[in-house]
Amino acid sequence: MCLIFTTYIRPHFHQNYEKGVAQEKGLWNVWMSKRSIKRCMKVMDTLERSIENP
């Protein structure tokens, strides 16, 4: 599963992200996407913590 993610999904995601930035849909969109990624990371972090110490 991880292999599929690193070989296909990840590079694909980065390509699309670079395209989106290059097209300059607006700094707001880029900022919002960065924020949502950070929020997702936060959620994952809290989930891991709750699993470790219930």
Domain ranges of the chain: 2-52
pLDDT in tens, 27-51: 666 677 777 778 877 887 887 888 7
pTM given for the model: 0.36
pLDDT of res. 41 = 78
Burial class (CB in 10 A: 0-12, 13-18, 19+), 8: exposed
pLDDT of res. 6 = 47
Dist CA 22 CA 24 (whole Å): 5
pLDDT of res. 27 = 62
pLDDT in tens, 1-30: 445 444 555 555 666 666 665 566 566 666
| 49, two tokens | 């913590």
